[in-house]
Chain A
Amino acid sequence: MPATDLLTIDRLNVYYAESHILRDVSLTVPEHKVACLMGRNGAGKTTLLKSVMGLLPARSGQVQFAGENITTRCPDERARRGMGYVPQGREIFPTLTVQENLVLGLLAAKQPKNGIPDEIFHLFPILKTMLKRRGGDLSGGQQQQLALARAMLSHPRLLLLDEPTEGIQPSIIDEIEDVITRIKEQKAVSILLVEQYLEFAWRLADFYYIMEKGSIVAHGTTEELSEEVAHRHLAI
């Protein structure tokens, strides 16, 4: 049985003021699969995730989520429909406590009243010891885990992860990989992952998309992704 598509982007064009950033981008993320978006710095990966989340308006094209056309919906409506976003800069609220950051993650959940569930601390034990600290006082790696936990708390159907390994030490990268693997194994969430760290992406993703100057130039299943293609488009 072929998996149904949770997210379908169809010929999306996005501009910053008058500069044309995304050009006719089409991409799909099937239910419970991981798609990885790769590309050099400035290719437009973050722009695409922001457009999917509704932070940037589409000039033309469509974004479909769970069978609904959401192209003109605001970010908060998309969040409540089941999108969780971990942005590139992590965007932790610096003067709010870790606990308050997590509580905000619960807002888009179906039952936000039940408080922070304990499972989240099984995935991120470090956070349990830091609930009273200010978000801005955490290290980069800790903030990344907090951002991931915050996004998970709404029980999203789709997770948008923008370079979760950027600027993070190897041991934390391993932890983050474990968490994403576990999320994947539970088969409840689809993930659109932006990642420059090739091996990391390779191990996690079912599908890959390669973006260059705002266009998708190659895509397929990760098994098909040859060294040759990867190096042609991604070699530094």
Chain B
Amino acid sequence: MTSTTFLLGQLFNGLSYCSILLLIALGLAITFGLMGVINMAHGELMMLGSYAAYVLQNYFAKQLAAQYFGWYFVLALPLAFVVSGLAGLLLERSLIRRLYGRPLETLLATWGVSLILQQLMRQIFGANNVDVRSPGWLMGRWHVAAGLELPHLRLFIIAFTSTCLFLMYALLFRTALGLRIRAVTQNRDMSACLGVPTRKVDAYTFALGSGLAGFAGCILSLMGSVGPNSGQNYIVDAFMVVVLGGVGKLAGAIAGSFVIGQTNVLFESFSTATMGKVMVFTLVILFLQWKPSGVFPSKVRSLD
């Protein structure tokens, strides 16, 4: 193996890890970053996306001929988005809208919701982890050169995350709803005075962030088994990315995931996975001591 291919391989690993992190963090960058809601149940919203994929996989395996099995994942993504988005909408309408501007209460209440959701999943799907099988078209590898093989799954994740990111930017900066979202997050009262139905915009925005969590959960189900507690594994990563990047800016989440992803892969290459995580975590904490508002500081209404 030449050093160039090794370097390229490392770069690719870093990039694919970054896009997974970014995908995990994207929903939170909306609900926490833009709206300022500390949603402890965000991980469970991801988990709903994973279980959506699991249910659809079982349905395809049982009810349809084997040649259609590969298609299940194409449908699982939108299904996960809708399931998690609706759950988020329900959560916002019933609970979170009463707690805007009160971060502590929000934290406690959504933590309660996360426990309820975990128990609910345990009741429905059992306490044991379940597996979601990759469809055939995501299982191969692309042989670029000797010693450089790129798994289809990882290529797909990079492409999918980039698409999500592109669509998010298009939505926020090119559509009427996006303009309303940006206006409300900057100045809620003035937006209302101009006729923006701020409550509705809140609900849509929160549902959008939750739907993105569903996407993340759906993709993550291909990378490891899914259990009632799997949401907990991702929530720390997601918050870390958003806080490191700077709350309130989409670009912050990109930078955050890039920095964390690349350093993590770098550290892992000369120590163990756990040690790598510990070192990254320490570095993030040190960095935030030095720059508390992250790489891209900005003001958010309920946090200032």
Bound Cα distance from A117 to B197, whole angstroms: 23
In the complex, B136 has a CB within 8 A of chain A: no
Residues of B within 8 A of A93 (CB): 182-183, 186-187, 190
Residues of A within 8 A of B183 (CB): 93, 96, 100, 104
Contact (Cβ within 8 A) B198 A104: no
Residues of A within 8 A of B197 (CB): 76
Contact (Cβ within 8 A) B193 A107: no
Sorting the interface of chain B by its residue count into under 10, 10 to 19, 20 to 34 or 35 or more gives 10 to 19
**Chain A nearest CB: distance from B173 CB in Å?**
10
**Chain B nearest CB: distance from A23 CB in Å?**
24
Residues of B within 8 A of A100 (CB): 179, 182-183
Bound Cα distance from A80 to B191, whole angstroms: 12
Within 8 A of A (CB), among B165-182: 179-180, 182
Contact (Cβ within 8 A) A95 B186: yes
**Chain A nearest CB: distance from B251 CB in Å?**
13
Contact (Cβ within 8 A) B186 A87: no
Per-residue interface assignment for chain A, residues 83 to 120, with 1 indicating a CB less than 8 Å from any chain B CB and 0 otherwise: 00101000101111000100111011000000000000
**Chain B nearest CB: distance from A53 CB in Å?**
6
Residues of B within 8 A of A76 (CB): 191-198
Given contacts A91-B187, A93-B186, A96-B183, contact A53 B196 (CB under 8 A): no
Residues of B within 8 A of A54 (CB): 192
**Chain A nearest CB: distance from B245 CB in Å?**
17
Residues of B within 8 A of A95 (CB): 182, 186
Closest to A93 in B: B186
In the complex, B189 has a CB within 8 A of chain A: yes
Given contacts A95-B186, A100-B179, contact A108 B194 (CB under 8 A): yes
In the complex, A150 has a CB within 8 A of chain B: yes
In the complex, A154 has a CB within 8 A of chain B: yes
Residues of B within 8 A of A87 (CB): 190, 193
Bound Cα distance from A79 to B187, whole angstroms: 16
Given contacts A96-B182, A100-B179, contact A150 B194 (CB under 8 A): yes
Chain B CB within 10 Å — which of A80, A100, A105, A107 has the most?
Answer: A107
Bound Cα distance from A100 to B189, whole angstroms: 17
In the complex, A75 has a CB within 8 A of chain B: yes
Bound Cα distance from A107 to B192, whole angstroms: 10
In the complex, A74 has a CB within 8 A of chain B: yes
**Chain A nearest CB: distance from B190 CB in Å?**
4
Contact (Cβ within 8 A) B193 A53: yes
Q: Which of B179, B186, B192 contacts A75 (CB 8 A)?
A: B192
Closest to B298 in A: A95
In the complex, A55 has a CB within 8 A of chain B: yes
Residues of B within 8 A of A79 (CB): 192-195
Residues of A within 8 A of B180 (CB): 104, 107
Contact (Cβ within 8 A) B192 A104: no
**Chain B nearest CB: distance from A91 CB in Å?**
4
**Chain A nearest CB: distance from B25 CB in Å?**
22
Q: Which of B182, B189, B196 contacts A107 (CB 8 A)?
A: B196
Contact (Cβ within 8 A) A154 B195: yes
Per-residue interface assignment for chain A, residues 64 to 86, with 1 indicating a CB less than 8 Å from any chain B CB and 0 otherwise: 00000000001110011000010
Within 8 A of A (CB), among B37-65: none
Residues of A within 8 A of B179 (CB): 96, 100, 103-104
Per-residue interface assignment for chain B, residues 260 to 282, with 1 indicating a CB less than 8 Å from any chain A CB and 0 otherwise: 00000000000000000000000
Bound Cα distance from A108 to B183, whole angstroms: 14
Contact (Cβ within 8 A) A104 B186: no
Q: Which of B189, B194, B198 contacts A154 (CB 8 A)?
A: B194
Contact (Cβ within 8 A) B196 A55: no
Per-residue interface assignment for chain B, residues 198 to 229, with 1 indicating a CB less than 8 Å from any chain A CB and 0 otherwise: 10000000000000000000000000000000
Given contacts A93-B183, A96-B183, contact A104 B194 (CB under 8 A): yes
Closest to B173 in A: A100
**Chain A nearest CB: distance from B137 CB in Å?**
42
Closest to B179 in A: A100
Residues of B within 8 A of A96 (CB): 179, 182-183, 186
Q: Which of B189, B194, B195 contacts A55 (CB 8 A)?
A: B189
Residues of A within 8 A of B182 (CB): 93, 95-96, 100
Bound Cα distance from A96 to B179, whole angstroms: 9
5 A-B residue pairings within 8 Å (CB atoms): A76-B194, A93-B182, A93-B187, A103-B179, A154-B194
Query: 8 shortest A-B CB distances, which residue pairs?
Result: A108-B195, A79-B195, A75-B192, A91-B190, A107-B195, A85-B193, A76-B192, A80-B195
Contact surface of B with A, Cβ cutoff 8 Å? 179-180, 182-183, 186-187, 189-198
Given contacts A91-B193, A93-B183, A104-B191, 18 further A-B contacts (CB under 8 A): A75-B192, A76-B194, A79-B192, A79-B193, A79-B195, A87-B190, A91-B187, A91-B189, A96-B182, A96-B183, A103-B179, A104-B180, A104-B183, A104-B194, A107-B180, A107-B196, A108-B195, A154-B194
